[in-house]
Amino acid sequence: MRKRMRLLLDEFLLDEFLFDEIEVERRNESFESWVSSGTADSQATDHRKTALATLMFEAYQGTVDDDGETLEDALAEVEGTFNGRYGRWFADGSFILRSSEGSGIIAASLLTLYQGLPLLAFSMTHPRYQRRGHARSLITASIAALQDRGFTELHLAVHRSNEAAIGLYRSIGFCEIDGGDE
């Protein structure tokens, strides 16, 4: 069972210090070239999507969101997200964070436009990097991108028993939507 939540963006004030803490990459700059290099090199694109799927698999493994999925299931989820499973992928509001040690992606925030409304489709952080503010920073960057484009709200769905995520979302300003169970 999932809880639906919403953040009203006109009530959200950005904390500038969050952007000084980490280097965030926008999809329309480096995230776009990272996911799809624009070349015919499908092996490179597949490798990049596999890296994001690996993050997803490792971030959710052993949590309330783990229904026994495999890495192949995570790859199908990533492909589905980019191909419209949760609405049109919102590239300008999707962000990744790479490790400074070069070990790959450590966190991601993926937005879509589901039925015309911004949806935080996925927020994920590798277990070794959790509880360091990375998810908050990426979600905040996503919120800033939405505000820059005139959006007034952001939606998400979270497993009811994922108390850590619910706590994070509430601390950012998300509120449960009445009748918000899926």
**Residue 30 in this model has a pLDDT that exceeds 50:** no
Where residue 54 falls among pLDDT bands split at 50, 70, 90?
Answer: very high
Neighbouring-strand partners of residue 2: 159
Label residue 157 exposed, middle or buried (CB < 10 Å: 0-12, 13-18, 19+): middle
Note the CATH number of domain 2-181.
3.40.630.30
Model confidence pTM above 0.85: no
Q: What is the pLDDT of residue 166?
A: 92
Residue of higher predicted confidence among 103 and 120:
120
Of the candidates 62, 65, 70, 22, which has an alpha carbon nearest to the alpha carbon of residue 156? 65
**Residue 118 in this model has a pLDDT that exceeds 50:** yes
CA dihedral (115, 119, 121, 125) in degrees, to 10, reads: 170
Q: What is the DSSP letter of 74?
A: H
In this predicted model, what pLDDT tens digit does every residue of 60-99 receive, in sequence order?
988 877 788 899 999 999 999 888 899 998 888 888 888 7
Q: What is the pLDDT of residue 181?
A: 53
Neighbouring-strand partners of residue 5: 156, 176
Structure tokens at 78: 């990533």
Contacts of 83 (CB under 8 A, 6+ apart): none
Where residue 18 falls among pLDDT bands split at 50, 70, 90?
Answer: very low
Averaged pLDDT score across all residues of the chain? 79
Of 2-16, 42-56, 89-103, the poorest mean pLDDT is in 2-16
**Residue 40 in this model has a pLDDT that exceeds 50:** no
**Residue 33 in this model has a pLDDT that exceeds 70:** no
Domain residue spans in the chain?
2-181
